[in-house]
Amino acid sequence: MRPSPIPLRRAARQILSSSSTIRAAAPALPTARRSLNTSTSTTGSDCTCGNGSSRRPQIQQLPKQQQHQQRSSYHSYDHPSSPAAFTPVEESILSVAYQHVPSHGFTSSALAAGARDAGYLDISPTILPEGAFTLIRYHLVKQREGLAARASDLFGGEGHVGARPGLSEREIKARVEAVTWERLLANAQVIGRWQEALAIMAQPSYVPPSLKELALLSDEILFLAGDSSVDPSWYTKRASLSTIYAAAELFMTNDHSPEFMDTRAFLNRRLREVNEVGGVFRNLREWVGFTATAGVNVLRSKGVRI
Amino acid sequence: MLRPATRPALAATRQVRQCAARFLSSPASPDTSSSHVNNPSTTPKTNPSSPPPNSKSTTSSKGKKPLTAEQRAFLSSALRVNQAGELAATLIYTGQTPPLVTRDPSLRPLMKHMYDQEAAHLRTFNDLIYRHRVRPTALYPLWSVMASGLGWGTAMLGKEAAMACTEAVETEIGGHYNAQIRQLLEMVSEWEAEGYEVGGEFRDLLNTLKRIRDEELEHLDHAVEHDAQKAQPHWLLTGVIRAGCRGAIWVSERV
């Protein structure tokens, strides 16, 4: 015997009506959240944080786009625009917190210690939306920005542009190696904590900004080394250098040799491998190109009108 | 000596020029005199190691205004698309030259002249793109293949078709450069109106773009003088190529 359809229909209607009440309730939620937001922001700006000083943490963040777009497009020398990656307050907290990294690691306790030392309340690191990852990003950004000065020391004070005309392929490669090594050495201070940092960077929500930083770093290294290729190898060079750098960084966390000699050897081996593979492809392309041109020319000499 | 058929195209060229000239002579424009003068100081620096002009002159009180994110996005897409365009142009002429010259050896100097100019433009933009750290177009191999194919294909159709191809491409490119120059001039005049200083970098860029625009329009004149309008069917060839150019420009600005 079939069950009567009426109870079923009633059940269905009930479900529908309940879903409509949910839907009706939904618009109320954002307004509630908005009122919450406004209340927090007012309290945030009203409270005086710090040791009775008039300094107040400004809860202002750069727009996301500005944070992540820096230095990835047109770089002007006359009209430089490098929107600071961090607001002054963030900067003041992070720069002090960074000193605590060797002892506390890339953690919220390092941030809290930094905030305290900078004269803010322990709670103030909550203005950093990404928590401990902000500290990691601070390390990545600062070390990348410091690379230009180190490179100009290395290459004899050529200023911000690493290039001079007539650098041979071999020289550029040596310079890429030198700059990459400089950047790896910049991790030495925090190397004991770097595995933790890598673990945080591997969390799904932090993967895109971490990869973005990696891309910016390899772009910076190649630019400082004076690599002026602007054809498809622009992409392959950056991709291979990023891979090598990430691998070397991971290797370095387990390297106990004096002055990280093993890491340097590792880096050199990887760079050499890339050169070898790249050389094979270049030769292959050259051969194909030559054969094709020769073939066309033979046909032309035979009177074929091509 | 012009045949009646060639007049509309020349008139179009003239219109583009006049429009540009009118724009250049507007009071907002910073330099009206140097637009047609290829004086060596206005050519781009081909030496990337030369220090950028950082010298701050004391004439302006406000100094130089940092570029906004939109302006940088515009400049990078402009340089990227220009590099892609000049790459395509060199390859079009490379593809066109052998078939054309075997049929009509008198075209050799013209093709060589146009190719040399395009190769110089490509070098200029390669250098600019490196200096200003702009990402080159990701579709570089695609544009290479398509441009070589277009050049060779039109040359195989005959001299008229090849010239029609040049005419179509250079018309689009001339308009495109004009649009860029217009936008740059707007940027510059905005800065000047607000009392900011304008860096030599932008004056150089403007002069480079103007010089290259004029050379591209000169190629257009050459093409029209060499029977571009006699190609059959002219409207179809130029229409398809111009649409393709616009599409390629649109894509290169983004990818």
Q: How confident is the model at residue B61 (pLDDT cuts 50, 70, 90)?
A: low
Q: Which member of A81, A223, A231 has the closest CB to residue B140?
A: A231
**CATH number of the domain enclosing B219:** 1.20.910
Q: Is B176 labelled as part of a ligand binding site?
A: no
State residue A128 phi and psi, 5-degree precision.
Answer: -85, 110
Q: Which residues of A touch B127 (CB under 8 A)?
A: 228
- B197: helix, strand or coil: strand
- Taking alpha carbons only, the member of B176, B196, B179 closest to residue B30 is B196
Residues 6+ apart with CB under 8 A from A271: A173, A176, A177, A180, A244
Give the model confidence (pLDDT) of B139-148 as tens digits.
999 999 999 9
Task: Kindly state the greatest CA–CA separation across chain B.
Answer: 63
A224 and A94 within one domain: no
Q: Give me the residue from B48, B72, B202 closest to A163, CB to CB.
A: B48
Residue of chain B with shortest Cα separation from A301:
B102
User: How many domains does one find in chain B?
Assistant: 1
Q: Is B136 on the interface with A (CB under 8 A)?
A: yes
- Tell whether residue B86 is among the known ligand binding residues: yes
pLDDT higher at B90 or B62: B90
Q: CA A298, CA B4: separation in Å to the nearest integer?
A: 42
* C-alpha count within 13 angstroms, C-beta hemisphere, residue A244: 26
B window 219-238, beta carbon within 8 A of A: none
CB atoms within 10 A of CB A155: 18
Question: Which chain B residue is nearest to residue A161, measuring alpha carbons?
Answer: B49
Q: CA-to-CA distance for B25 and B162, rounded, in angstroms?
A: 35
Report the alpha-carbon distance of residue A189 to residue A192 in Å, rounded: 8
Per the model's pLDDT, the better-predicted residue between B153 and A163 turns out to be B153
pLDDT of residue A163: 53
Q: Do A74 and B98 touch (CB under 8 A)?
A: no
Range(s) of the domain holding residue A87 = 82-128
In angstroms, the CA A291 to CA B193 distance is 59
**Which residues make beta-bridge pairs with B197?**
B64
pLDDT value of residue A157: 58
- Whole-angstrom Cα distance, residue B181 to residue B127? 19
**B132 assigned to a ligand binding site:** no
Residues A71 and A137 sit within 8 Å (Cβ to Cβ): no
Is B118 part of any known ligand binding site? yes
Rg (CA), chain B: 19
Band (pLDDT 50/70/90 cuts) for residue B31 is: very low
Does A226 lie in the same domain as A190? yes
pLDDT at residue number A164: 60
ipTM of the predicted structure?
A: 0.73
Are A168 and A296 in the same domain? yes
- Residues B63/B197, Cβ–Cβ less than 8 Å: yes
Query: Is residue B36 in some structural domain?
Result: no
One domain for residues A113 and A224 = no
Residues A110 and A157 in one domain: no
Would the pLDDT of B77 be above 50? yes
pTM for this predicted structure: 0.73
Do residues A123 and A151 both lie within one domain?
no
Interface test with B, best of A66, A67, A71, A79 (most B CBs within 10 A): A79
CA distance A90 to A17: 49
The percent of residues above 70 in pLDDT, for chain B, comes to 76
The boundaries of the domain holding residue B175 are 68-254
- Min Cα distance A92 → chain B (Å) is 24
Query: Quick one: CA dihedral A84, A90, A96, A97, positive or negative?
Result: negative
Q: What is the pLDDT of residue A83?
A: 64
| Domain tally, chain A | 2
pLDDT value, residue A78: 78
Flag residues of chain A having pLDDT under 50.
Answer: 1-6, 8-9, 11-71, 159-160, 162
Query: Residue B14 — very low, low, confident or very high, per pLDDT cuts 50/70/90?
Result: low
Look at residue A158 in the predicted model and tell me its pLDDT: 56
